Structure 1
Amino acid sequence: MPSLTLKVDVDTLRGTLEGVPRLVELFRQHRTDATFLFSLGPDHTGWAIRRVFQRGFLGKVKRTSVVEHYGVRTLLYGVLLPGPDIGRRAGEVMRSVHAAGFETGIHCWDHVLWQDRVAVADREWTAREWGKAVARYAEIFGEAATVHGAAGWQMNDHALRLADDDGFTCCSDARGTHPFQPVVAGATLRCPQWPTTLPTLDELIGVDGVTPDNVADRLLELTRVAPPTGHVFTLHAELEGMKFLPILDRLLTGWRDQGYRLGALRAAVAERAFDTLPRHALRYGAVPGRSGTLLVQGVAVD
């Protein structure tokens, strides 16, 4: 039975407080595990306005109704309103997810700051931001994190090595087609990458006639034939956890009908021995429907 891994990126305070509990309830109804990756520090969503000059950013904002999904208050954090500390304000919600039996991990410390700077950041800056997230996770959950999924699929070599040095069991930092051993500067890291293989809802809606009403059909068509290594689908607490919850409900039913075994990253990782994974380099590249460049699975390394 092919696997379809559910990875939840939680970007904002609102997404944590409102979207996460709704997703937990829906996953319980469908009797499925999922991986929740939390933003643990300040919510500076309003800083994202600096991306206005990125090619494709305004088009994406228009297509996916950012104000409607994130709310005006969230979009003012860091601009006209101070950015609230998500970990301090919503730590209890995060712990409740873990207590309910779901896998939890790190998304980032400061989502916008990491997404906008890490690709060109030096080791000192990267280690500082990484360290704050690792420390806050341990403070909230009382144990070390073992799973990481990069904010905006943005990483650098320093961050990839930090995950390896800290003993993470799995990362989902890139976009790609199948799980792999990452190769950085010629060295094979021990922490495997389970890349996102499917487009996200916000990448599909508004393109080629796709609407909220038919986006589930489009995704289910993409998963009709299962690849041998399964799929990883990234959803967002601010989207599927709120207005798009009915779409996710339909997708979960549809994927089960297609014969997929739904679950968290930990289940997919447990099925594959590390030394059986192919080795791949990493690079930055474009992804249809998303502005800027992202970390993507590169060429196979012999």
Structure 2
Amino acid sequence: MRLALKIDVDTLRGTREGVPRLIDALQRHGAGATFLFSLGPDHTGRAIKRVFRRGFLGKVSRTSVLAHYGLKTLLYGTLLPGPDIGRCAAAAMRAARDAGFEVGIHCYNHVLWQDGVNRGDAAWTERQMRLACKAFEQVFGVAAHTHGAAGWQINAHALELEARLGFRYCSDTRGRGPFLPLVNGNTIACPQLPTTLPTLDELIGLQAITVDTVADHLLGLTRTPPPGGHVYTLHAELEGMKLMPVLERLLDGWRSQGYELVSLGQLFATLCLDALPVHEVVPGKVPGRTGTVAMQAPRPLTPPALLSESPLRPGPCAFERRG
């Protein structure tokens, strides 16, 4: 019974303030985790353009964006210049690694990736990913071996590129359990460990769920563990700050349910790769989140017994986020 904690770090504030608090909380609970960092400019303020998307204003009001991110962060990239997170907060990033936690890439420019990847061509996608890889190496001195796409937004160019960039496994998608992504009939040799549980910002304010009840709701979803384990995505700007009490309740609750709290790498190490199902990556809706996200298709396309005959190589682009 393993539950992997995947920590998305979106902003400079989240890196400087949320990450140290999370390190402390995770160590006190004996929990493993994977920190995925945004490594380039913090342009959080430019996300204001999403105000025109259906449901965005409702999500903002439900999740108290100003309270969690702070006014200064919400002005970065508009009225204030966007600071380079990798340069300004490299010490905080290395502190996570030095504390024994797995580290990887979230993105280079969070807003640019999340808003642009659905229409990005191969050249645009490769440039963004290589910028992130270079920034990661400048911070940590080694190449990254895992990636988790900002906002669960990914295109087929990126899925192909992940194997070529040397990533051992990634967590770019939402789904039910580990799988190999299929693009135009070709199996990509980089397993996906999808997020299997809803996030706090998706739950709070929906169906009468409050900050006080959201932990119990999530714990109800994890009473029965899936065969491939769970992946829970938290955010340095939420659980690492004002929602830390919720995280503490979750960590205690998952321990009581018998889960080992691990990193993505520790979950990956338990998998039998030859037995992983193969799924397409398709756009899908998640309750409480605007737009669409990259999702594990409902049905596997290749029986596990035939995986040894499948070409583990990147193929032409097939998937684009719609909506």
Shorter-normalised TM-score: what interval? over 0.9
Alpha-carbon distance in structure 1 between the residues aligned to 2:51 and 2:87 = 30
What amino acid does structure 2 have at the position aligned with 1:146? Answer: H
Residue in structure 2 matched with residue 77 of structure 1 by the alignment: 76
Q: CA–CA distance in 2 between the matches of 1:229 and 1:183?
A: 19
- 3-state SS of paired residue (1:119): coil
State the shift of 1:24 in Å.
0.3
Within 2, Cα distance between the matches of 1:297 and 1:112?
23
Q: Deviations over 1:192-221 (max 9, x none)?
A: 000000000000000011000110010001
Matches for 1:211-250 after TM superposition, within 5 Å: 211-250=210-249
Aligned to 1:65: 64
- Residue type at the aligned position of 1:252: L
- Does residue 100 in structure 1 map to residue 96 in structure 2? no
Q: Which amino acid in the other structure matches residue 301 of structure 2?
A: V
- Take 1:151 and 1:6, find their aligned partners in 2: how far apart are those partners? 16
Aligned to 1:277: 276
User: Residue in 1 aligned with 2:124?
Assistant: 125
Distance 2:105 2:272 in 1: 23
What letter corresponds to residue 286 of structure 2 in structure 1? Answer: V
List aligned pairs for 1:173-188, cutoff 5 A.
173-188=172-187
Distance 1:175 1:237 in 2: 19
**Per-residue deviation, 1:191:** 0.6
- The DSSP-based 3-state class of the residue aligned with 1:300 is coil
Amino acid paired to 1:242: M
Shift of 1:227: 1.3
Identity of aligned residues (%): 60
Deviation at 1:273, TM superposition (A): 2.0
Q: Provide the rounded CA distance (Å) in 2 between the counterparts of 1:198 and 1:154.
A: 17
Listed one character per residue, the Cα deviations across residues 158-192 of structure 1 (whole Å, up to 9, x for unaligned) are: 11111110111110000000100111111101110
Alpha-carbon distance, 1:300 to partner: 1.2
The SS at the match of 1:235 is strand
Q: Letter of the aligned partner of 1:139 in structure 2?
A: Q
Separation of aligned partners in 1, 2:52 and 2:291: 10
Distance 1:245 1:99 in 2: 22
Q: Which residue of 1 aligns with 2:309?
A: none
* Residues 1:208 and 2:195 aligned together: no
Q: Distance in 2 between matches of 1:170 and 1:56?
A: 32
Deviations 1:45-103 (A, max 9, x none): 00100001111111100000000000000000011000000000000111111111100
The question of 1:89 aligning with 2:63 is answered: no
1:243-287, Cα deviation, whole Å (9 max, x unpaired): 000100010000010011111001110001211100000111111
Residue equivalent to 1:49: 48
* Alignment correspondent of 2:300: 300
CA distance in 2, matches of 1:204, 1:52: 20
Give the whole-Å Cα distance in 2 for the aligned partners of 1:254 and 1:176: 22
Q: Note if 1:256 corresponds to 2:255.
A: yes
Q: Which residue number in structure 2 is paired with residue 192 of structure 1?
A: 191
Paired positions, count: 301
Q: Structure 2 length as normaliser, TM-score?
A: 0.92
User: What secondary structure does 1:280 align onto?
Assistant: strand
**SS of alignment partner, residue 111 of structure 2:** helix
* Distance in 2 between residues matched to 1:27 and 1:215, nearest whole Å: 19
- Residue in 1 aligned with 2:313? none
Q: What CA RMSD, in Å, does the superposition of the two structures yield over aligned residues?
A: 0.6
4+ runs deviating over 4 angstroms: none
Q: Which runs of 5+ in 2 are unaligned?
A: 303-323
- Show CA shifts across 1:139-173 (max 9, x none): 11000000100000001011111111011111000
Distance 1:228 1:49 in 2: 40
Tell me how far apart the structure 1 counterparts of residues 129 and 224 of structure 2 sit (CA, whole Å). 38
SS at match of 1:14: helix
Q: Could you tell me which residue of structure 2 aligns to residue 166 of structure 1?
A: 165
Q: Measure the CA separation in 2 of the matches of 1:254 and 1:118.
A: 36
Task: Provide the residue aligned with 2:318 in structure 1.
Answer: none
How far the C-alpha of 1:130 sits from its partner, in A, is: 0.6
Distance 2:30 2:210 in 1: 28
2:117 is paired with a residue of what secondary structure? helix
The aligned amino acid for 2:71 is V
